[in-house]
Amino acid sequence: MSILIYAEHDNTELKSETAKLVHAAQQLGSEINVLVAGYQCAEVAQAAAQIAGVNQVLVADNAVYTHQMAENIASLVSELAVDYSHILAAATTTGKNFMPRVAALNDVAQISDIIAVESADTFVRPIYAGNAIATVQSSDALKVLTVRASAFDAAELDNDAPVQNIDLVHDNTLASFVDAELTVSERPELTAADVIISGGRGMQNGDNFALLNGIADKLGAAIGASRAAVDAGFVPNDMQVGQTGKIVAPNLYIAVGISGAIQHLAGMKDSKIIVAINKDEEAPIFQIADYGLVGDLFDILPELEAAL
Amino acid sequence: MKILVPVKRAIDYNVKVKVKADQSNVDLANVKMSINPFCEIAVEEAIRLKEAGIATEIVIVSIGPAVCVEQIRTALALGGDRGIHIATDLDLDSLQIAKLLHTVVVKESPDLVILGKQAIDSDNNQTGQMLAALSNMGQGTFASKVVVEENMVAVTREIDGGLQTVKLSLPAIVTTDLRLNEPRYASLPNIMKAKRKPVETIAADSLSVALASSVKLIKVMSPAQRVGGAKVADVNELVAKLRTEAKVIA
Ligand SMILES: Cc1cc2nc3c(=O)[nH]c(=O)nc-3n(C[C@H](O)[C@H](O)[C@H](O)COP(=O)(O)OP(=O)(O)OC[C@H]3O[C@@H](n4cnc5c(N)ncnc54)[C@H](O)[C@@H]3O)c2cc1C
């Protein structure tokens, strides 16, 4: 088994998903390479070389990979694929974007969002918003897998794997990058945070999300939201937790003014401890909460901030 | 311009699915089925492009058993012009679906294909990207805004870090995210009119696509159930329990 892991990064920082994917890959085999595709991403490659279990880091450092456009990355990965039995990428918006393209170019299936490895060809993945868990077996010679990073622990960082530059340039005329509006925040990223406090429609407006700030500061928490809060324009889309947003599994998840629709639960029900704050004692979120507090969030949030 | 919109018949999003006792699959007997919500957003976007005078024809395509025609009719009632039903009773994977859709792309030569980003049953999020690869087209996935320009489409995408805009040369593939639009409801007169719109049926096995899947479903289980439901009386009890019982805060 030889495994290629696509590194999750933004050209400057290696994201926490990658070490978790290495851990997943170790359950498949021991020959593990990491591909860093980007532009001026040498630091990312150095960080990837530190992950225990990595044999080699391959770096495709070229301006055509600056924005990791699916068209370029898929054709690069697809060319490299001939040397591997498995290709893994995190089930982030980057991995979800280019990996199915790789699978189709290589005429194999993709298995999305795996949460466990049973064997080199058998994997476990949630379907129906996590209301059912499927075990599937692939007979393809090349397995293309996206991985739900939150389901795996991170590999240690005590390695010094060799870094090798690869000189493959895959450009295209089909698609080009125009611009990006990235959310800048001092807080931890949702998918990497130990504590998350999320607001829903009950927050009533975007200004009221400030009530979560003081608590998040004290807990070192990331701030998330339900779809209803994003749709209503209270907060940006990258804060959405759920089936079709970010999937998180922090130690502590505090849901404030969120009813607990199955699509929201799909994104957070694997959190270790769940707290629900809601004025409706019948709200479904209480059924999965370890600690439910019934009451008006506008009274409770200031009290909670003071008590921490 | 011609727009192709593939739609999937899927469990209604309000239904919580149950797993069969023998763990062979989920139980869909007598369960309400609808157009997958993301496909509905794709249909709506195509209709808006037609209303804006940009699109001239909207072709709806669905793959599956005969009952899929219900979803095609719904999409026609919303504003699609004609339908194509690719008939099969097999449970196909995204790759086979993408290959079948590719045959439709070759035949119909649409300028734009708009699909849902994922189906809420398999949660795969693959078909649009695979179709883009097979058709050698650019892809704008997870779209929250689509602006058609001359020979180009600008797609604003919802990504983990915020928003990203890409430009694709036409023909191109777009997959929809939740914020792209809010789908309309079909009016009764339009539902009646849709019954007379043409729907062509093509047998999937007549399309020279290998339909066998390389992925076998071994079993389907219910997820581990959380034991929740405990309540605390006030903020002080909550904080105390988080500190001493759950030990998740300092
Ligand atoms: C295809 C599809 C995909 C979806 N994907 C997602 C997803 O990824 N993530 C997601 O979150 N949703 C998703 N949804 C939407 C989901 O079905 C729900 O509509 C949404 O989660 C509801 O958000 P909410 O709980 O904030 O709002 P509501 O359901 O309106 O709940 C608001 C809650 O706030 C409480 N409340 C109001 N005022 C107060 C107050 N003063 N104090 C305390 N409590 C108060 C109310 O009692 C209520 O329980 C999806 C839906 C579809 C169809």
Q: pLDDT tens digit string along A199-258?
A: 999 999 999 999 999 999 999 999 999 999 999 999 999 999 999 999 999 999 999 999
Contact list in A for residue B160 (CB cut-off 8 A) is 92-94, 191, 238, 246
A·B CB contacts under 8 A: 261
C-beta of residue A237 within 8 angstroms of C-beta of residue B158: yes
C-beta of residue A183 within 8 angstroms of C-beta of residue A236: yes
Res B60: pLDDT: 98
- Residue A155 has phi, psi (to 5 degrees) of -70, 155
What mean pLDDT comes out for the span B48-67? Answer: 98
The three-state secondary structure class of B167 is: strand
Q: pLDDT tens digit string along B67-124?
A: 999 999 999 999 999 999 999 999 999 999 999 999 999 999 999 999 999 999 999 9
Q: pLDDT tens digit string along A135-160?
A: 999 999 999 999 999 999 999 999 99
CATH for B2-244 (3.40.50.200, 3.40.50.300, 3.40.50.620, 2.60.120.380)? 3.40.50.620
Contact list in A for residue B221 (CB cut-off 8 A) is 132-133, 135
Res A254: pLDDT: 98
- ipTM, two decimals: 0.96
| The pLDDT of residue A1 is above 90 | no
Q: Which of A128, A196, A198, A201 for a ligand 1 pocket mutation test, highest count of atoms within 8 Å of Cβ?
A: A201
Q: Which two tokens stand for residue A259?
A: 């009813």
Q: pLDDT tens digit string along B175-203?
A: 999 999 999 999 999 999 999 999 999 99
Q: Which of B126, B221, B228 sits opposite A290 (nearest CB)?
A: B228
What is the residue-averaged pLDDT of chain B? 97
Res B227: pLDDT: 87
> Among positive and negative, which fits the CA dihedral B97, B98, B101, B102?
negative
One-character DSSP codes across A55-85: -EEEEEE-GGGTT--HHHHHHHHHHHGGG-S
What is the residue-averaged pLDDT of chain A? 97
| The pLDDT of residue A68 is above 90 | yes
What mean pLDDT comes out for the span A31-39? Answer: 98
Atom of ligand 1 nearest to the CA of A285: 49
Strand order in the sheet with A291-294: A222-225, A195-199, A252-256, A273-278, A291-294
